[in-house]
Every structure is written in structure tokens, then in C-alpha cells.
Structure 1
Amino acid sequence: MDFNERLQKVADEHEISKLLSSWAYGRDNGEWDLLADCYHGDATMNISWISGSASDFVEQSKKMLAGAATDEHGKHNLGDAFIRVAGDRAVSECHVELLRRMRNDTFEFDMITWGRFIDLFERREDRVWRIFERTMVYEKDRMDPVNPDQVPAGYYDAMNLEKFPAACRFLCYRLELRGWSPEPNIITVNSEAEKQLLENARKWLL
């Protein structure tokens, strides 16, 4: 790889990294035009509560944020991304923490969901990198009371968590509690679906 090729590689990775940050900022702060511009028009989104078009994801996100209680808020905390570029296509694996303050009954809880975004990117006629496909692989989650002394013993026993994937059961519990239906084919870590997802990402670069 000569100097110009290395320079282009650095520029591509920087643009993709900035795109990842723009997505998180747009989603968490309701900057919907910014969020929509992260995707190609035919992009897809596959996460816990939606598996479909990215445009539908943006519209449903508007409803989700508008319907959130004033004392509930969330944030996507992104870690470093491993980015691979091949011409006008790229793949990224980015660690993400979904942080959420939730009220249930009269109690407040802090929820954390860990996972990875597996993203397929493409640079088309306008020479701008955008997401073609985003899928979340869920790894683990937890739900901690803000004031543990206020939560009665056995509180968690009353939750019907067994019907949800172990990697994101508290996230799915909250979704259902708020009137959203968790997707039936959520991808979790160390599953066959994750292996197939990573193989598809590898083929995307060929």
C-alpha cells in the first residue's frame, strides 16, 4: 500500500467513524434529519424492536422519543469501531452501551444493554459514506434500582423474563411494558445467527 492509498484509507475510516457518532447523536437528541442522512434510501435496520427499513426506523424512533416520560431518557454510548474498507464498501463492528433511566410503578431503574453494531456501508454516486445495513448483536443487560432500599424483596420475581432472550431480557421487558413488541429474531452473541451475520459482512467486502 503506497502513501496515497494509506491516506485514502485513513480518510475513509475517519468519515465512517464520524458517521457512527452522527447516528448516535441524531438518535439520542431527536435530530431526525441528521439521523436519516446516515442511511441510504434502501437501507435496513435490525435491532430489538424493529427489523425493516431504516426510514421506518426513523419514523418509529420519533414516536418512541415523543412518548417517553419526562423523567426517562436514554443514550447510545459507542466504543471504538473496527472498520474495514474495500473500495466503495466498508464494514464496521462497533461496541455499544445502551443506557436508559426507567420508571416502573413508583421505582426508578437504570438499565444497561451491551452489544455490537455490525454495519455495512456503501459509498455511491454522491461519494458519501452511508449505512446500507445495521444489525445489533446483543450480549448482556441488567436493570438496577436507583434506590435499592425502596424496592421490595421479590420484585424481580414478578417479571416474566423467561420468554425473552437472556442477552437482552430486561430491554425486551421494558419495550413490552411501554407497548412495543420485541422482534422474534433478535441476534445474540455466540449464536448461529451471529456467525451468519459476520459471514455476510465478510462477503460484503469481496
Structure 2
Amino acid sequence: MQNYLEDRLQITDLMTAWIHRDLGQWDQLLNVAHPDGTIEITWFKGLFSDFVKGSQRMGTSDFRTKHLIGNPVVTFNGDRAIVETNAVIIGENQKLDLGCAVHNRFYDMVEKRDGKWKIFKRQTIYDMGTFTFPQGPVDVDRDAVASYPREYAPLAYMLEKSGFPLQGKFATRGDALEQKMRADAATWLAQ
């Protein structure tokens, strides 16, 4: 049986490197994915390099985020691994005086190329979310909030109001999209 201790450490560092996004360290963030790496999250689907450019634009907007990252659970097959990592996305739009906290799981397919583990594909499963009110309660458009899946409705609402529209529907805890994501990743891992 292969000892994956060093690989687990590299992958843990890879997952916690998401701090570079929160700090606006774009070159370091770009380094967490392979050049052909992709990402699918609420407001972006596409190449990771384009996501970094979009994140730069978001970084200059009224919408700010911080990600609290947990320890990853890793399933290996040679130089490939599936990584599931608990996270909390904390967002705030100071102009709206509104915030959110959304619990999610990053679901990554990572590959070791030239001795380095990097993200090949990042997706997210949303578990639950809530609004926060930094300066006290403010009104939200309840009908607009209700148009999104409950698990990520606060984040979706804030993204839309901040000029970052959703890019489709996303997996939520236990739904068919999560099941398909897991099945597709298992097929990829077995190859």
C-alpha cells in the first residue's frame, strides 16, 4: 500500500491556499490549479485562470468574501485524488449593509503533475446559508431570495445584487447534482 502522507500534506496546503483569494494575492491563487484547471461555483464557470481575473474584479467591488477552510478528506488513486473540504463563505456588501454565511464543501479533482498536486476541477456543494446584518436588520426581497435553492439563497441574492449573476444551478446536500458530481468524479478517479 502506498504511503500518501507527503501527498496529503501537499493537498492540505493546496486547499488552505484559498487564503490567497481572500488576500488578493492573485499570482499565488493562480498557482493552485493546473493551466487547464476549471472551476464551477455560483458566479463563475470556466478556466481557473479566468476565475482569477473575475476574482480581481470582485475584489474591487462592494462585495467582499472570506473563506474559512476545514481539513480535507482525500481519496487517492495514484497521481489523482478526490478532495472534499468543508468551508464557510462569509460575504458582505457594505453598500447594502448586508452579509451572509454559507456552509459549503469544495469538491475537487486534483492531479499530481511534475511532482506537484494542483486542482484539475473544483466544484462546490452547498449545505446551508443565512444572512447576517452587520449594522442591524435590513429588508431583503423575500421573493427574490425564494427564487434560489435555500442552501445558497443568501449568497446568490448578494452576488446578484452586487453585479455577479449566478451561472446556473448548483449541487446542494444530497441532491441529484451532488450524486452526479460524485459519480463523475469516481469515474475520473478510476481512469
1:49/1:157 CA distance change after superposition, 3 Å: closer
Name the CA distance, whole Å, in 2 between partners of 1:157 and 1:41.
40
Name the CA distance, whole Å, in 1 between partners of 2:57 and 2:95.
20
Answering whether residue 49 of structure 2 is matched by residue 95 of structure 1, we say: no
Pick aligned residue for 2:148 from 146, 153, 164: 164
Q: Note if contact 2:82-2:108 (Cα within 8 Å) is conserved in structure 1.
A: yes
Query: What letter matches 1:52 in structure 2?
Result: G
Answering whether residue 55 of structure 2 is matched by residue 61 of structure 1, we say: yes
Cα deviation digits, residues 56-114 of structure 1 (max 9, x gap): 1011000110223xxx6421101121011211111100001001233354xx3331011
Aligned residues: 190
Counterpart of 1:146 in structure 2 is 134
Q: Tell me the SS of whatever aligns to 2:35.
A: strand
Pick aligned residue for 1:115 from 104, 113, 118: 104
TM-score (norm 2): 0.92
TM-score (norm 1): 0.86
Query: What letter matches 2:50 in structure 1?
Result: D
Answering whether residue 6 of structure 2 is matched by residue 11 of structure 1, we say: yes
Q: Tell me the SS of whatever aligns to 2:146.
A: coil
1:182/1:36 CA distance change after superposition, 3 Å: same
User: Computing the radius of gyration over CA atoms, which structure comes out larger, 1 or 2?
Assistant: 1
Counterpart of 1:137 in structure 2 is 125
Q: CA RMSD in A?
A: 1.7
Q: Note if contact 1:90-1:121 (Cα within 8 Å) is conserved in structure 2.
A: yes
Q: Note if contact 2:64-2:92 (Cα within 8 Å) is conserved in structure 1.
A: yes
Q: Note if contact 2:83-2:107 (Cα within 8 Å) is conserved in structure 1.
A: yes
Unmatched segments (≥5 aa) in structure 2: none
Name the CA distance, whole Å, in 2 between partners of 1:98 and 1:120.
20
Pick aligned residue for 2:15 from 14, 20, 27: 20
